[in-house]
Amino acid sequence: MLQRLSITVLALAVIVLQTSAAALAQQPGGTLRMYIWDNPPSASIHEEATVSTVTPFMSLFNNLVLFDQHEKLNNSDNIRPELATSWAWNGEKTRLTFKLREGVKWHDGAPFTAKDVACTLEKLQDRAADKFRKNPRAVWWHNLKQVVVNGDHEVTFVLGRPQPSFLSFFATGYTPMYPCHVSAAQMRTRPVGTGPFKFVEFKSNESVKIVRNQDYWRPGHPYLDGIDWRIISNRSTRALAFVAGEFDMTFSLDLTVALMKDVQSQLPNAICELQPTNNSFNLIVNREVAPFNNPQIRSALALTLDRKDFIDIITDGKGKIGGVMLAGPEGLWGMPPDIVAALPARAAAPAATAEQIAEAEEIAEDVAEVGECIGIELRTAGRALHAGMPKAIVSRALLRIAQHAISLAGFFEPLLRGRIIRIAVGVVPLRHFPVSGLDFLIAGLTPDA
């Protein structure tokens, strides 16, 4: 099981840039020029852990329901129909029934039916014969006990207990419907969906190309003829390419406050907006692998976190300290600031105190296994974090750190296999994470909290 050390979370401020307001105009035609910051491990959204796969491939698919894309902040009140036309709970809130849209076809011409919904969930629960190679969000569906197909256009999900968050799981970009008749292996390389765009090609470490689905079930959509994605791993190169006019927009999660200012100085006609990312920074370890299976080691790491440096170095002072869930107002389930302030010092203090450091050093002396920690690799996921990052993580030399960058898209497997520490940049939208699956977050937290 993966653990986020301490319950301090930072919301990073970011920037979205657009060359002109015309880029947002709903006029038909044209190809959108975009970039991806990481090479997607595959084209299968369900088998990958991060937005590096969701971003270029989400438009090939549809969900049963989707958060309203015209709203800046997702919440349970702005869930809209997609492949489902309506949904309803039974009185006990343990059965959720979707009425499905008729006349929808997969990109290969096969009809979309309730059977496809059932097949998708069977794979997500590792119950299908044709299993996913990886299944990073299997825990989302731990409370789902049965999927009942009621004809071609109705499906019911039977839960073990009431779960208010269950509908929201279907509304994220991580939960597209997959076709029964297409293998999991093909979905990794030549995906077939029902969405507004169709797959053309995926050249690893180079590009992704998709084109308009002429037979899309939503009349008049999409507006674009296609989207061309280029894979560029270096953040500075991406920013320079945008300034040079090679791309039509950048992404939130990608640009720092300092880089935004630099781009503005070089490209005065750019429309720049400083936004919260709806994501968080976390220190994540695999707590089932030595030495991190020792609670004292995890406590020592948590005691030495310098949260103030995190905020100052990464966000130019614009980050926030919160609880396990994303801080408000962007985080709907975020812990109120007054409660955060009242937490024990190790959780709420912006920087490690002398007392905390002394306690951490005492742990280091008392626990023999600490020798395995000293000299451990710190791997930061993607996006070339600042040179000062190690100081922000460990304010004293409790750990000697060799910093290496790894792909954000490719962190999941090495994190599970080896002893690595990873600075996570919003791997999953935390407000959609199943609380009952995070038993390590807050002692005594109930599944319905």
19 is a domain residue: no
Q: Is residue 167 part of a domain?
A: yes
Per-residue model confidence (pLDDT) at position 343: 65
Domain boundary at 184, 213, 240, which? 184
Does pLDDT of 132 surpass 90?
A: yes
What CA–CA distance (Å, rounded) separates 167 from 165? 6
Does residue 251 lie in a domain region? no
Among 162, 184, 206, where does a domain finish? 184
190 lies in some domain: no
Give the pLDDT score at 255: 78
Asked if the model's pLDDT at residue 387 lies above 60, the reply is no
Query: Mean pLDDT, to the nearest integer, of 55-78?
Result: 92
Which pLDDT score is estimated for 337? 79
Encoded tokens for 193: 């969906």
How much is the pLDDT for 50?
Answer: 87
Q: Are residues 63 and 170 in the same domain?
A: yes
Q: Please tell me whether residues 413 and 337 are part of one structural domain.
A: yes
Where does a domain end: 127, 161, 184? 184
User: Quick one: DSSP state of residue 37?
Assistant: S
Residues in the chain: 449
Structure confidence at residue 13 (pLDDT): 37
Burial class (CB in 10 A: 0-12, 13-18, 19+), 111: middle
Question: Exposed/middle/buried for 104, CB within 10 Å: 0-12, 13-18, 19+?
Answer: buried
Q: What share of the chain is helix, strand, coil (3-state, %, to 5)?
A: 30, 20, 50
Please give the Cα distance from 204 to 247 (Å, whole number): 19
Q: Rounded mean pLDDT of 162-185?
A: 96
> Does pLDDT of 130 surpass 90?
yes
C-alpha pair distances (Å), 350 with each of 276, 381, 396 = 20, 23, 15
Per-residue pLDDT at 152? 97
Assess whether 426 and 326 both reside in one domain.
Answer: yes
Sequence-ordered alpha helix ranges (H) in 197-244? 235-243
Of residues 112 and 389, more confidently modeled: 112
My answer on whether 68 and 6 are in the same domain is no
Task: Give the CATH number, domain containing residue 108.
Answer: 3.90.76.10
Average of per-residue pLDDT values in the chain: 75
283, containing H or E segment: strand 281-286
Please give the share of the chain, as a percent, with pLDDT higher than 90: 44
Residue 268 half-sphere exposure toward CB, CA atoms < 13 A: 0
381 and 391 Cβ atoms separated by less than 8 Å: no
The reply to whether 189 falls in a domain is no
Exposure string of 214-229, with b = 16+ CB inside 10 Å and e = fewer, is: eebbeeeebebeebbb
pLDDT tens track for 270-280: 888 777 766 66
Mark out the alpha helices in 129-229 (DSSP H runs): 166-171, 184-189
Radius of gyration of the chain (CA): 23
Give the CATH number for residue 288.
Answer: 3.10.105
- pTM score of the predicted model: 0.72
What total of structural domains would you count in the chain?
2
266 has a pLDDT exceeding 50? yes
Q: Identify the band that residue 352 occupies on the pLDDT scale cut at 50, 70 and 90.
A: low
Mean pLDDT computed over 69-87: 91
Q: Which pair of structure tokens corresponds to residue 25?
A: 């105009």
Q: What is the pLDDT of residue 96?
A: 98
CA 403 to chain centre: 23
- Give the residue with greater pLDDT, 173 vs 335: 173
Lowest mean pLDDT among 114-123, 135-144, 367-376, 426-435: 426-435
Residue 379 pLDDT exceeds 70: no
Burial 66-97 (b: 16+ CB within 10 A, else e): bbeeeeeebeeeebebbbbeebeeeeeebebb
The answer to whether residues 173 and 318 belong to one domain is no
Q: Could you tell me if 180 and 305 lie in one domain?
A: no
The segment with the largest mean pLDDT, out of 59-63, 73-77, 351-355, is 59-63
pLDDT of residue 410: 52
Long-range (24+ apart) CB contacts under 8 A made by 115-119 are: 115/149, 115/152, 115/180, 116/177, 116/178, 116/179, 116/180, 117/64, 117/83, 117/147, 117/149, 117/155, 117/177, 118/147, 118/149, 118/155, 119/178, 119/179, 119/180
361 within domain boundaries: yes
**pLDDT for 286:** 72
Question: In this structure, are 75 and 7 located in the same domain?
Answer: no
Residue 373: the pLDDT is 38
Q: Which residues contact 11 (CB under 8 A, 6 or more apart)?
A: 276, 277, 278, 279, 280, 319, 320, 322, 326, 327, 330, 331
Amino acid identity, position 149: V
Q: Contact 159/96 with Cβ under 8 angstroms? A: yes
Q: Tell me, what's the pLDDT at 357? A: 58
How far is 272 from 281, CA to CA, in rounded Å? 23
Cα-based angle 249, 318, 77 (whole degrees, multiple of 5): 70
Percent of the chain with pLDDT over 70: 66
Residue-range definition of the domain harbouring residue 123: 58-184
Statement to judge: residues 289 and 401 lie in one domain: yes
Do 241 and 232 form a contact (C-beta atoms < 8 A)? yes
- 286-327 pLDDT, tens digit per residue, is 777 777 777 877 776 666 666 777 777 777 787 777 777 777
Query: Do 315 and 433 share a domain, yes or no?
Result: yes
- 48 falls within a domain: no
| CA 401 remoteness from chain centre | 26
How would residue 104 be classed by pLDDT, with cut points 50, 70 and 90? very high
Position 202 scores a pLDDT of: 98
Identify whether residues 312 and 428 lie together within a single domain: yes
The answer on 317 and 168 residing in a single domain is no
Q: What is the pLDDT of residues 218-248, one digit of tens each?
A: 999 999 999 999 999 988 899 899 999 999 9
Q: Reduced to 3 states, what is the DSSP secondary structure of residue 45?
A: helix
DSSP conformational letter for 262 = H
Tokens of residue 363, six digits: 């742990």
What's the pLDDT at 331? Answer: 75
Helix 354-366 / helix 295-303 crossing angle, nearest 10 deg: 150
Examine residue 171 and state whether it is found in any structural domain, yes or no: yes
Query: What integer pLDDT is reported at residue 156 of this predicted model?
Result: 98
**Any alpha helices (H) in 176-230, and if so which ranges?**
184-189
The amino acid at 185: A
Q: How far apart are CA 71 and CA 55, in angstroms?
A: 18
What is the mean predicted confidence (pLDDT) over 419-428?
Answer: 32
Q: 282 with 404, same domain?
A: yes
Separation between Cα atoms, residue 100 and residue 77, nearest integer Å:
20
